[in-house]
Structure 1
Amino acid sequence: MSETNNDQKKYEVVAKYIKDISFEIPTPDSFVDAAQNLGEYSTKLELNSNPHKNNLIAIDCNFKLEAPQTIQNKIHAEVCISIIFKLTDPKMTAEEVKKIVLVKIPTDNFEYMKDIITSLFQKTGFTNFNFNKQIDFEELYKQQFAN
């Protein structure tokens, strides 16, 4: 619990919002095929961070739905959720900031992002869609910076 309190003193989330949405469903056949084969699509997540003035950092979490080669009538869906936070501890090391950006913020806000993605897909017509994929940001961080 003390780690959470320490992290909360190091940063403060200022805003969370949908930055960009793209649903491309070219034909009715594409919609029907996607609805029947949505489980075969893969989900990719890209994180990008951008520093701004006044110790603000924006993390863009870009979710992309990608169809396998075997599906002929494909849809394209991409949702970018931005999380803006402010660094409040001037004594943080670059390593601490990197871990907050790549692990702490995405982990703490992942349920929020999953709820948005599930809701958007359901409102787009994919009523049975439920984004239930789990991502271990700590493990990804360790894999990326093992060397």
Structure 2
Amino acid sequence: MTENYKILAKFIKDLSSETPNTETYLFVKDNIAKYQLGIDITSKALKNQMVEINTKLKFEDKEGNEKKSYFEIIYATIIKVNDRIKEKKELEKIILCDVQIEIYSDLEKSLLDLLHNSGYPGIKFEKKVDFEKLYNQRFN
């Protein structure tokens, strides 16, 4: 536990891999390098200082090809926030930055396992997501 929060649970809430047919699979296999990773983070307050954080990773073709696959994972993390945290900005940083840094390797591994098990064994994410930088960019 950090001083500010404790992760009580983390789990895959939703997992999706969609490739409609063999033709699409073969096309995607040749073009998956063009796919992009998107991240969306939402949260909702629970009772007793607890927060549910849903981190959604989407790996998709943004180029509008007819033939495309779609991959998505929603990873839920339940945290208990320390009673001392009163500032909205502090809580935002915990949700959008600190927790994400802590769970990201599990989340990335789960998405890569999904991609590999969906028939795309060579996929790797070259760049690590810098949540600190993303968080700070929101305010500039």
Match of 1:114 in 2: 108
Q: Deviations over 1:81-101 (max 9, x none)?
A: 1111111x2121222111111
Contact 2:56 2:73 in 1 (8 A): yes
CA distance, structure 2, for counterparts of residue 61 and residue 68 of structure 1: 20
Q: Indicate which of 44, 51, 64 corresponds to 1:57.
A: 51
Q: Partner letter of residue 56 of structure 1?
A: M
Unaligned segments of structure 2, at least 5 residues: none
Q: Tell me, yes or no, if structure 1 residue 127 matches structure 2 residue 121.
A: yes
Change in Cα spacing, 1:20 to 1:70, as seen in structure 2 (3 Å) is closer
* TM-score, with length taken from structure 1: 0.87
Superposed displacement of residue 130, structure 1: 2.1
CA distance, structure 2, for counterparts of residue 76 and residue 19 of structure 1: 17
CA distance, structure 1, for counterparts of residue 62 and residue 135 of structure 2: 27
CA distance, structure 2, for counterparts of residue 38 and residue 136 of structure 1: 23
Contact 1:13 1:83 in 2 (8 A): yes
Q: Indicate which of 90, 97, 102 corresponds to 2:91.
A: 97
Q: Tell me, yes or no, if structure 1 residue 16 matches structure 2 residue 1.
A: no
CA RMSD in angstroms, aligned pairs only: 1.5
* TM-score, with length taken from structure 2: 0.91
Superposed displacement of residue 70, structure 1: 5.8
Q: Deviations over 1:81-127 (max 9, x none)?
A: 1111111x212122211111111000111111111111111112211
CA distance, structure 2, for counterparts of residue 133 and residue 47 of structure 1: 19
CA distance, structure 2, for counterparts of residue 56 and residue 132 of structure 1: 34
Match of 2:67, SS state, is coil
Aligned length: 139
Q: Give percent identity, aligned residues only.
A: 26
Unaligned segments of structure 1, at least 5 residues: 1-6
Give the structure with the higher percent helix. Answer: 1
Q: Partner letter of residue 40 of structure 1?
A: K
